[in-house]
Structure 1
């Protein structure tokens, strides 16, 4: 199965997925990285890992539809079958949702429906929650509202620094996301 990964930042989840593919844990090919920020470190990771990438900035387009149509052209040129959002900080719009129904998977750093949006870790920490976690879900029209594929919990202990919590969340993401991608690929193929 040919996958495109969308990412906007550091790219540690992107690299974890690439490594899982190379180790045979995910039966797929990472055919393309789609990035919306030319300064994002994930682009350096893609180059080092030998993964093709494109950078398209939404502000360079007249509308979200025009932006997503350009993205879609690149996806179709690579025969992409599944989109994986790994730290993508854009809300997926109707153009991509229609082209890839139930074929866009996202990871979120909280136990959805708790703490949706950009700052899931920080929100749980600041709220004084005793646990949070990671959710992998399908993308729909909402913000972090699609059907949940898997969740795993992380305890927040009194005295934990937010940096410690972030480290625990990222380690769990790197483990869980490739597992769920592989499970979902098997489901799509059956």
Structure 2
């Protein structure tokens, strides 16, 4: 079995990271998290430490420019030579030089059915729009904001009276499963990122 090496980038609690760590602790799952990076002292780094996975932090405010931050982040990523970079709740837009160096082997999860509701407030925006269905997208990262080619999507119902927190929690549950499945499909060749990016 060919095993895909994953480097995961996070900014927050790391629930998607934990789902990948738990999946990759199964010998039958064809991917392994080899390192976790963050742009902040994220609470989710504790998950990596629990699973004895190396971590690194590259804080944007420590650099004179976004490009300088991106160059250091890319250097840290490339040090591990991962097969796939997974942005799992990583809340910063990557500089173009980072994207071009890594694409199409860099993917992201987004809590909406793209192209609907891109950006940082997708759940709030879906509620404000009054839709009865939203969902989750796993996509290849390109140089736009949530504009990269879609790998897979799954719908999540919006219930009357949903708060942003309630809807987001329901989305996160689906998001974790979808990300684990997407990485599995990439690892076993059911999904070809080069082909998807060329569409």
Gaps of 5+ in 2: 195-199
Partner of 1:69: 71
The worse-fitting range, judged by mean Cα deviation, of 119-128 and 168-177 is 119-128
**Does the residue aligned with 1:83 lie in a helix, a strand or coil?**
strand
Q: What corresponds to 2:19 in structure 1? A: 16
1:175 matched residue in structure 2: 177
Match of 1:50 in 2: 52
CA offset digits 1:34-74 (Å, max 9, x no partner): 10112x21112221221111011011112222212212222
The verdict on how the C-alpha distance between 1:24 and 1:135 changes in structure 2, with shifts beyond 3 A counting, is farther
- 2 CA distance for matches of 1:64 and 1:185? 32
Structure 2 counterpart of 1:84, from 78, 83, 86: 86
* Residue pair 1:84, 1:105 contacting (<8 A) in 2 also: yes
- Picking from 7, 11, 14, the partner of 1:4 is 7
What is the correspondence of 1:120-139 to structure 2 with a 5 Å cutoff? 120-139=122-141
Per-residue deviation, 1:24: 4.2
Conserved 8 A contact 2:105-2:193:
no
Cα offset, 1:80, TM superposition = 1.5
Does the 8 A contact of 1:107 with 1:177 survive in 2?
Answer: yes
Aligned counterpart, 2:197: none
Cα–Cα, structure 1 residues 106 and 25, in superposed 2: closer, same or farther, change >3 Å?
Answer: farther
The CA deviation at 1:25 is: 6.0
**Which residue number in structure 2 is paired with residue 185 of structure 1?**
187
Question: 2:104, 2:193 within 8 Å by CA — same for their partners in 1?
Answer: no
In structure 2, C-alpha distance between the alignment counterparts of 1:74 and 1:159, rounded to whole Å: 44
Question: Over aligned residues, Cα RMSD in angstroms?
Answer: 1.7
Partners of 2:61 and 2:31 lie apart in 1 by 32
From the superposition, tell whether residues 69 and 26 of structure 1 become closer, same or farther in structure 2 (CA, over 3 Å): farther
C-alpha distance in 1 between matches for 2:60 and 2:139: 24
Q: Is the 8 A contact 2:135 2:155 kept in 1?
A: yes
CA contact (8 A) 2:137 2:150 kept: yes
SS of residue in 2 equivalent to 1:177: helix
Counterpart-to-counterpart distance in 1, 2:177 and 2:14? 14
Q: Counterparts of 1:160 and 1:16 in 2: how far apart (Å)?
A: 25
Output aligned runs, 1:33-44, within 5 Å: 33-38=36-41, 40-44=42-46
